[in-house]
Structure 1
């Protein structure tokens, strides 16, 4: 970790004419945004136009995939009787959050990539950063509640509290309230939203050395990253342990009885629940893979680690937004009943395959033969 000179550069402009012969990223800053830009970014020349174009194209592609994919998830889960269960309200909430993330972030990013700086003024900077932070928070806590639901069904079983419409609705309202409070706070004086990197995006202020923004970032990451990560890991640790113990017991019993399998309808249900847990775990893992690099970028600024560049920052921010693409892809590949209904309502979205008759009938008629299927 190199700290020499980093702190000084936060409060100083260009250090040599040769180094900045081609100007800096601050050259394009509009007058109404100048007071929000940290002088640290003046160290760097403007990012190559080609990269702005590549980022713009990449952002457009993930916007289309995410909006279409998450829109289909909301439409199918919300409009199909067999999928419209209390537990799946959390899935709908996750998809709606991801849809909103891309709808509020991508068009603004594309406009600013075209102009190669933030041109929409301070208010839109606040709006953009608030929406990005809020929908990211809603997504991760929705995933946390999904993990708890899997834990409740698989680990606790009949002794667990059953998920109801009322309970799911209360959880969703709690998530939205929690996220709104955290993301409105910077507009009320605890930290602030500012342009970052090559100044085509806005985020929480992680470059200022004052205790006010630093305390916010530390507290925010604790409650919106580390806490849900811990709770999710806790849930899946016990889920994996329970499924493994059950499978081991079944194999040993079958061996003693000299039969190939002892699977009953209850065991099939348990297996279905385990598959759903794998779907949720995959989604969550990909979310953390997308957002962790951006958290590292924020900590670079927080702890004065030299080496933070506009190029790395804007790619980190863009990849973090791409987490909104994950949900529909994972469910489209791994969720059997979702694929069945999707094929029925949008045949061009699913490759040709023969659906199991029982599953097709369940999806068509709203039949919920087992708790596992109802939670699918």
Structure 2
């Protein structure tokens, strides 16, 4: 049998194609909304928000360049285009996947540095630094994606025949060093960095919240903003890792064992589950950001941008630049004191 012929049943091929079509539509629409919202507010956008736009671009790029070919192939019960499109598809998937995980890693490091620094985020990371980091993310992903083309590693069809990726089963000997390097530098190390950074931010926020509550019965908005953005960032990072972990484990298993032992139907599931990583980010923004939700409704109902009042939530992004994200307890207590003084002055004026 041709290696590019589906080993799945025709019904399962059609079902997988329909599933991928839904994922493609949701991903394209959702990430386009994120980008459009950012473009509309580009004059007010802060440097650190560029990382969230960059993440939306990686997800949109994966959906546009990969999913149509995959849908057409599953419905044809045969991979379309042969070796050329297989290498293209594998390279695109690897490229956008590396770009996404590195974007999340850099974002976690940036948030960690900002949270433990008393300066404004814009003073620590200006436009020049942020743009350089984004360029580094894309170049890093491109270098890794080109390695199999240059002879270190290789691309090939998945066991079920109608998708392509890194040829894990064929890299038992000559490509073993590539496999170990990929898993260490592009999965294990980034995951450890992300966990450590957000754990440190959580501890910092916990002690800040505790100190503030000891001096006031009301939690200030700045602490609530920190907590909400931390939740968004952790959910997005966790979602990416969770969606790709089953595929990573199956791929690693196939390097040390005979991949033909795994039934095609079983090898299909982790691959399909990994595709969801391009969908959920806009959904998380929509749930946790009132501003993003409001602007999406405005776009859908074709209302004018000024028809609604501005929301208190100043950013749809995982890192906000509209408010100084300070977790220093003394700064927060000072803000509370200033608010109380303003309220007392207003009362005296009224009286």
Q: Partner of 2:226 in structure 1?
A: 273
Q: Partner of 2:298 in structure 1?
A: 344
Please state whether the residue corresponding to 1:296 is helix, strand or coil: helix
Determine if the alignment matches structure 1 residue 235 to structure 2 residue 197.
yes
How many angstroms apart in 1 are the aligned matches of 2:31 and 2:76? Answer: 29
RMSD, aligned α-carbons: 2.6
Please state whether the residue corresponding to 2:21 is helix, strand or coil: helix
Number of paired residues?
Answer: 316
Seen in structure 2, the aligned counterparts of structure 1 residues 232 and 47 have a Cα distance that, compared at 3 Å, is same
Determine if the alignment matches structure 1 residue 157 to structure 2 residue 81.
no
Q: Partner of 1:335 in structure 2?
A: 289
Aligned partner (choices 131, 134, 143) of residue 92 of structure 2 = 131
Deviation at 1:315, TM superposition (A): 2.1
How many angstroms apart in 1 are the aligned matches of 2:160 and 2:279? Answer: 24
Determine if the alignment matches structure 1 residue 101 to structure 2 residue 62.
yes
Deviation at 1:153, TM superposition (A): 2.5
Deviation at 1:209, TM superposition (A): 5.3
User: Is there any run of 5+ residues in structure 1 with no aligned partner, and where?
Assistant: 1-25, 31-44, 255-259
Deviation at 1:88, TM superposition (A): 1.0
Seen in structure 2, the aligned counterparts of structure 1 residues 339 and 159 have a Cα distance that, compared at 3 Å, is closer
User: Is there any run of 5+ residues in structure 2 with no aligned partner, and where?
Assistant: 316-320, 327-351
How many angstroms apart in 2 are the aligned matches of 1:204 and 1:281? Answer: 28
Which sits farther off after the overlay, 68-77 or 147-156? Answer: 147-156
Please state whether the residue corresponding to 2:103 is helix, strand or coil: helix
The answer on whether the counterparts of 1:192 and 1:204 sit within 8 Å (CA) in structure 2 is: yes
Structure 1 segment 76-225 matched on structure 2, within 5 A? 76-81=37-42, 84-158=45-119, 162-208=124-170, 210-225=172-187
Aligned partner (choices 257, 276, 297) of residue 322 of structure 1 = 276
Q: Partner of 1:65 in structure 2?
A: 26
Q: Partner of 2:347 in structure 1?
A: none
TM-score when scaled to structure 2? 0.83
Please state whether the residue corresponding to 1:203 is helix, strand or coil: strand
How many angstroms apart in 1 are the aligned matches of 2:25 and 2:164? Answer: 22
Aligned partner (choices 276, 298, 311) of residue 359 of structure 1 = 311
Deviation at 1:194, TM superposition (A): 0.6
The answer on whether the counterparts of 1:290 and 1:319 sit within 8 Å (CA) in structure 2 is: yes
How many angstroms apart in 1 are the aligned matches of 2:157 and 2:258? Answer: 19
Deviations 1:161-205 (A, max 9, x none): 622111110010000000000001101101110111211011111
Deviation at 1:224, TM superposition (A): 1.0
Which sits farther off after the overlay, 312-321 or 242-251? Answer: 312-321
How many angstroms apart in 2 are the aligned matches of 1:59 and 1:154? Answer: 39
Please state whether the residue corresponding to 2:124 is helix, strand or coil: coil
Deviations 1:273-301 (A, max 9, x none): 22111101101111111100000111111
How many angstroms apart in 2 are the aligned matches of 1:164 and 1:320? Answer: 34
The answer on whether the counterparts of 1:337 and 1:359 sit within 8 Å (CA) in structure 2 is: yes
How many angstroms apart in 2 are the aligned matches of 1:244 and 1:276? Answer: 14
How many angstroms apart in 2 are the aligned matches of 1:337 and 1:166? Answer: 27
Q: Partner of 1:23 in structure 2?
A: none
The answer on whether the counterparts of 2:290 and 2:313 sit within 8 Å (CA) in structure 1 is: no
Aligned partner (choices 33, 51, 57) of residue 12 of structure 2 = 51
Which sits farther off after the overlay, 305-314 or 176-185? Answer: 305-314
How many angstroms apart in 1 are the aligned matches of 2:118 and 2:301? Answer: 36
Seen in structure 2, the aligned counterparts of structure 1 residues 297 and 210 have a Cα distance that, compared at 3 Å, is closer
How many angstroms apart in 1 are the aligned matches of 2:26 and 2:142? Answer: 26
Structure 1 segment 294-309 matched on structure 2, within 5 A? 294-304=247-257, 307-309=261-263
Deviation at 1:319, TM superposition (A): 1.5
Seen in structure 2, the aligned counterparts of structure 1 residues 362 and 323 have a Cα distance that, compared at 3 Å, is closer
How many angstroms apart in 1 are the aligned matches of 2:13 and 2:56? Answer: 28
